[in-house]
Amino acid sequence: MQHAEKRPEPGDPELTERGCQQATQTALWLSRVGLRAVYSSPLCRAWQTAAPIATAARLDVHRDERLTERMNWQGVEPIEDFLADWARGVRDRDFVPRTGDSSRQAAGRLHAFVQEQVDAPGAVAAVTHGGVTADLLRTLVGDDEVPADVVHQGVPSCAITILDGLRVVAMARTDHLS
């Protein structure tokens, strides 16, 4: 799933108040699916999203670097340069930006994580980021099957993508937030 709404700041911002509410709503929804594990990207916004999910499921949050976003703006370079690299990475999946991974590299990381989970019984919640999720979806189902807004803008805050093994069951669902 995508982390909840974050503050519009560079680096590793925390969730907004609305983001905290989204994380709580998502935790309530996920508490019904019988999670066996909760994993999170090490970035604060993902960790803060995963915490209420783990609490509701009475589990610990496990940190996994493979769930990290493909690029994260630190505020060191101009935002325009970061966004230009991001856009080029969307168009050219093999482009390696000045900071971060190519779309294919990021998808490969997340794909490896998912493959590790495939044979274990039970549901897993993995809190990650919109870009890397879109990268994985493009790898699993192809560019034409992923909605253009997901490819270009990423996955909406707290959206849930459901996989059954490596088969995509649902993409970027947000109905649990209404």
What is the pLDDT tens value at each position of the chain, 178 positions in all?
999 999 999 999 999 999 999 999 999 999 999 999 999 999 999 999 999 999 999 999 999 999 999 999 999 999 999 999 999 999 999 999 988 999 999 999 999 999 999 988 899 999 999 999 999 999 999 999 999 999 988 899 999 999 999 999 999 999 999 8
What pLDDT, on the 0 to 100 scale, is given for residue 153?
86
Return the residue matching tokens 């590790």: 116
Compute CA distances 14 → 44, 55, 159, whole Å. Answer: 6, 18, 17
> What does the domain layout of the chain look like in residue ranges?
17-177
Residue type, 112: A
pLDDT for position 36: 96
pLDDT of 154: 85
Contacts of 72 (CB under 8 A, 6+ apart): 11, 12, 43, 99, 100
Q: What is the structure's pLDDT at 159?
A: 97
What is d(CA 163, CA 123) in angstroms, rounded to the nearest whole number? 10
Can you give the pLDDT at residue 72? 94
The half-sphere exposure of 136 on its side-chain side, counting CA atoms within 13 A, is 30
CATH topology for 17-177 is: Rossmann fold (3.40.50)
pLDDT for the residue 96? 97
pTM value? 0.95
The pLDDT assigned to 119 comes to: 86
- Residue 157, pLDDT score: 96
Check residue 120 and give its pLDDT: 87
